[in-house]
Amino acid sequence: MKKPNLSRRNFIKNTGSLALASTLPISLVELAFANSNENFSFAYISDAHIQHIKGSRFVRNWDRGLIRAVAETNLLSPKPDFVMFGGDLAQLGSKPELDHGAEIMSALDHKVRYIMGEHDYYLDLGAYWEKLFGPQYYSFDHKGVHFIVLNSIRTYDDWTYNRWPSAEQRMLEMAGLDNPNGSPFMVGEEQRKWLKKDLAKIPKSTPIVVFSHSPLQKIYKGWNFWTEDAEQIQALLQPFNKVSVIYGHVHQIQYNQIGNISFHSVMATAWPWPYPSSYAQAKQYLPKLTVPMNRADPFFERDATGWQLIDMANGNVDINFTLYDNQDRSVRFNPKNNRPEDTQYQNKDARIPPQIHY
């Protein structure tokens, strides 16, 4: 067996001590798989929430989260094949926020592709974002894997076009996490038709990776950890042997397996969301929860934030969470159980994490 090459991570944590290095959850696919030609990695940065204050001033903490992700991604060795940005680059979708976010992201030495978040979208329905980053949904192929990007944060036309007196008001209503005036996210008919056509030409044995902003599963409607037409999208994906869905939006680690589809969330660079305590009322929708995240530690401004290095291990997704102020974690596909697992935090008995009520 080859010796692990830790160089990809050494820069991040200054792992001078061997003891620390040996505990890092590094997934190096070349260790695990004989045919390393099929394996590659990409970086995933998400939910920066760049927030404009006034003039040239932006919320410094959110800037710093994104700047750090960009800087650390640039130091990866070997270089990942590309970088994905998972949505919510902006806080309120404004031109200064999107421009400022794009400027920070422009320091990346990699090809970057973008996914639409609701905080990017609901001011001008993605018009300026499209100018900067391209189409709102698309697909591409890379080293034998078919990648699909969806805009999963659209909603009913009536809510989008008729409900609010101004675009600014519409943006504010959708930006609130627990705002009852919000509306469930959905991919929508136009993209579902496109997806069906896009998938029609792909052999069933080709690994599929879908990027969305909201979960393409129903977790918790009260916070829009939910996609209204999730089952319809899942039905289009189920005929394929290996499917992975990677989503942002929830700002916490979640993973789940439904049929052939593995679901993975990614962390935000800006701030963490806790698990909703109301999960208790939505048991049937719970995915396998990993690290119980009740609240962030306010004394560590980067608590429970970070970015991801994703290894494509023979068509399955292994996610390495690079967490700024916390121990790094990995969620990897376990072929024996046919589902993703975080071996350090796997809790086989509990579906609901312990809750701290305060």
Q: Which stretch binds Fe ion (CB under 5 A): 124-132, 176-184, 241-249, 277-285?
A: 241-249
**Token pair 């709102």: residue:** 136
Asked if residue 154 binds Fe ion (CB under 5 A), the reply is: no
Least CB distance to Fe ion at residue 241 (A): 30
Q: What is the DSSP string of 107-167?
A: T-SS-EEE---HHHHTTTTTHHHHHHH--SSEEEEETTEEEEE----B--HIIIIIS-SSH
Spatial distance between the Cα atoms of 271 and 292, rounded to a whole number of angstroms: 15
| Contact between 153 and 51 (Cβ < 8 Å) | no
Could you tell me which stretch among 184-192, 243-251, 253-261, 273-281 binds Fe ion (CB under 5 A)?
A: 243-251
The whole-angstrom separation of Cα 28 and Cα 10 is 13
Of 62-70, 84-92, 294-302, 341-349, the window that binds Fe ion (rule: CB under 5 A) is 84-92
Range in contact with Fe ion (rule: CB under 5 A) among 53-61, 115-123, 281-289, 302-310: 115-123
We find the least distance from the C-beta atom of residue 134 to Fe ion, in angstroms, to be 19
Beta carbon of residue 212, minimum distance to Fe ion (angstroms, whole number): 11
Contact between 303 and Fe ion by CB under 5 A: the answer reads: no
Residues 6+ apart with CB under 8 A from 204: 239, 240, 241
Q: Cis omega before residue 298 (within 30°)? A: no
Q: How many residues bind Fe ion (CB under 5 A)?
A: 5
Counting contacts by CB under 5 A, is residue 47 touching Fe ion?
yes
Closest separation in Å from C-beta 249 to Fe ion: 4
Give the shortest CB-287-to-Fe ion separation in angstroms: 17
Q: Are 153 and 205 in contact (CB under 8 A)?
A: no
Calculate ∠ Cα 268-246-242, nearest 5°: 160
CB of 209 to Fe ion, least distance (A): 20
Task: Select from 8, 9, 85, 88 the one that contacts Fe ion (CB under 5 A).
Answer: 88
* Phi and psi based region of residue 144 (left: phi greater than 0; alpha: psi -120 to 50; beta: remaining): left
- The residue among 249 and 302 lying less far from Fe ion, judged by its C-beta, is 249
Judged by beta carbon, residue 87 or residue 340, the one nearer Fe ion is 87
Q: What is the closest distance, in whole angstroms, from the C-beta atom of residue 271 to Fe ion in the complex?
A: 9
Q: Which is nearer to Fe ion, 177 or 352 (CB)?
A: 177
Contacting Fe ion (CB under 5 A), which of 96, 117, 207, 215? Answer: 117
Q: Give CA–CA dist 178/70, Å, rounded.
A: 30
DSSP E strands, 194-293: 208-212, 243-247, 254-258, 261-265, 288-289
- Considering only 9, 52, 146, 249, the residue that binds Fe ion (CB under 5 A) is 249
Of 116-124, 134-142, 281-289, 330-338: span binding Fe ion (CB under 5 A):
116-124
Spell out the residues 6+ positions from residue 172 whose beta carbon is closer than 8 angstroms to its own. 92
The site for Fe ion (CB under 5 A) is made up of 47, 88, 117-118, 249
